[in-house]
Structure 1
Amino acid sequence: MLLADKTVIVSGTGPGLGREIALAAMREGANVVLGARNADRLAEIADEVDPTGARVVWQPTDITDHAQTEALAALAVKRFGTIDALVNCAALDTVAGGLEQTSWDDLRAVLETNLVGSLAMTKAAMPALRRDGGAVVFVGSQVDMKVVVDHPQLAYAASKAGLRTAAHYLAQEYGPDRVRVNTVSPGWMLGPPVEAYLGYMSAAQQVSREAVLADLEQKMALPYLASDGDTAEAVVFLASDRARGITGQTLLVNAGEYMR
């Protein structure tokens, strides 16, 4: 098992990617610490991850509140003794539009969550990560490298680009402590948000869900739309000792839609 006896924090444990990461980490032997704003959803996912509660703990966490990020890191250490990996999955991704359509308040909110909040969570976990070496994995996005013309997300893309650059600096800063920092950047990712998109486009175009999906898949090098489960597998790998020689890198999980 890739994460046997490791303790992994997953911030932003929602019904899609965060849940898949938590389940994959548990499957690979980890103790899992879950944080997100929605307490009811956290409780449901924690029960799914480990109904016994022996290897999972959770706490409502808003990563824009630095006291709450510190509390989640402290909970991990109190319950399991250490932090071996942190996965920063929490994100605000609902603000769409270019410069003319994006309010300053919305831009600040996206940056405060996706960039500042993720860095705050990382700072809170770093003392434990530095003790024995560990891994930080940021969940980025392909949109900070490939502009989506028909669905612009200026604020979201800028925040993820900033986070990817920050990962390079953190990899250099904490490399001497054997802390690795990498980014996994999905493209189209089959999960709850994309399923909603497929349903919307199916109704708008009066075609089947399968037809909309096929149109997306034909843009990929692989005849396949990568899922949130596929992204979770990449995250788990980078969090594990199998990736001990990898830091400061970005791994695209996109079925080859965009290559660099």
Structure 2
Amino acid sequence: MSFENKVVIVTGSSSGIGASTAIEFAKEGAQVVLVGRNEAKLKNVLEQCEKVGKKPLVVKADVSNDDDARIIINKTIEHFEKLDVLVNNAGTDEEHDILKDDFMESHDRIMNINLRAPVYITHLAIPYLIKSKGNIINVASVVGIVTGGFEDSTSYCISKAGISHFSRSVALKLAPYGIRVNIVSPGPVYTDILNHSSQKDVMYEQFKLATALKRVSEPKEIADLILFLASDKAKGITGSNFVADNGILVK
């Protein structure tokens, strides 16, 4: 899969799935735009991309901030003069309990980053994707399909279900323009969201037990799927949700 001189934005590319996706695109010749909030982590990913491909453009931004969202698109176009692929990967979760008084504060933070931000960034990117007949990959989650055992991740589950429905709706809207829109829904993956938890070891073991294959995915596995969907090999695929959950849904 060659992405030679294709321009690819990857939000949330400072670590985890986003970082792996950026590196894999760089390996295939893409001009990558790294987007994240942690400068030190972004620099690390930039260096890894440079080792295998072209030097990326780094945009330090908070995707949930509308001004920053516009900066992401504007800097990309100013630097590369086009956009071919948008990967809406940035996401967050935090402990939140609908029975507690501070629930709505957490809910709004999660929804703004996980759902509102990709909707707005997509809106901003569409004129340029029409010109390139590009495509969009939105990273959702298996918990957007089934929520069993995640009663304290209500808002996260809602946001991921929302991004899936948004993607299908936009896929239909943009099909006449030659733009494809697809969804990747990972199950448990070794990422910073989980690694920051004080109970990460216990959680990973629980996640393994919840899967048919008794394993947790590496970020590169999800990156490989994203690259496939962004490539011409998937030119007949749009509005589809690709699940990589190690068999959670079949248990």
TM-score normalised per structure 1:
0.87
Counterpart-to-counterpart distance in 2, 1:104 and 1:220: 31
- Segments of structure 1 that go 5 or more residues without pairing to the other structure are none
The percentage of counterpart residues that share the same residue type is: 26
Equivalent AA in structure 1 for residue 36 of structure 2: A
Task: Report whether the alignment pairs 1:2 with 2:2.
Answer: yes
Counterpart-to-counterpart distance in 2, 1:88 and 1:31: 16
Counterpart-to-counterpart distance in 2, 1:254 and 1:224: 9
**1:149 CA displacement:** 1.8
Counterpart-to-counterpart distance in 1, 2:217 and 2:151: 19
**1:151 CA displacement:** 5.8
Equivalent AA in structure 1 for residue 99 of structure 2: E
* SS of corresponding position for 1:50: helix
* SS of corresponding position for 1:100: coil
Counterpart-to-counterpart distance in 1, 2:199 and 2:104: 28
Counterpart-to-counterpart distance in 1, 2:53 and 2:234: 28
Equivalent AA in structure 2 for residue 176 of structure 1: P
* SS of corresponding position for 1:257: coil
- Count, aligned residues: 250
Give the aligned partner of residue 178 of structure 2: 178
Counterpart-to-counterpart distance in 2, 1:95 and 1:160: 16
**1:230 CA displacement:** 0.7
TM-score normalised per structure 2:
0.90
Equivalent AA in structure 2 for residue 222 of structure 1: L
- Segments of structure 2 that go 5 or more residues without pairing to the other structure are none
Counterpart pick for 1:250 among 235, 241, 244? 241
Give the aligned partner of residue 34 of structure 1: 34
Mapping 1:63-212, distance limit 5 Å: 63-97=63-97, 99-101=98-100, 103-149=103-149, 152-195=152-195, 200=199, 202=201
Deviating more after overlay: 219-228 vs 149-158? 219-228
**1:221 CA displacement:** 2.9
The answer as to whether partners of 1:12 and 1:90 remain within 8 angstroms in 2 is yes
RMSD of aligned C-alpha atoms? 2.4
* Alignment deviations for residues 164-192 of structure 1 (CA, whole Å, 9 cap, x no partner): 11111110111111111111011111344
The answer as to whether partners of 2:194 and 2:200 remain within 8 angstroms in 1 is no
* Alignment deviations for residues 7-60 of structure 1 (CA, whole Å, 9 cap, x no partner): 110011132111111111111221100111222221221122115994411111
> Taking structure 1 as reference, are residues 240 and 255 closer, same or farther at Cα in structure 2, changes over 3 Å only?
same
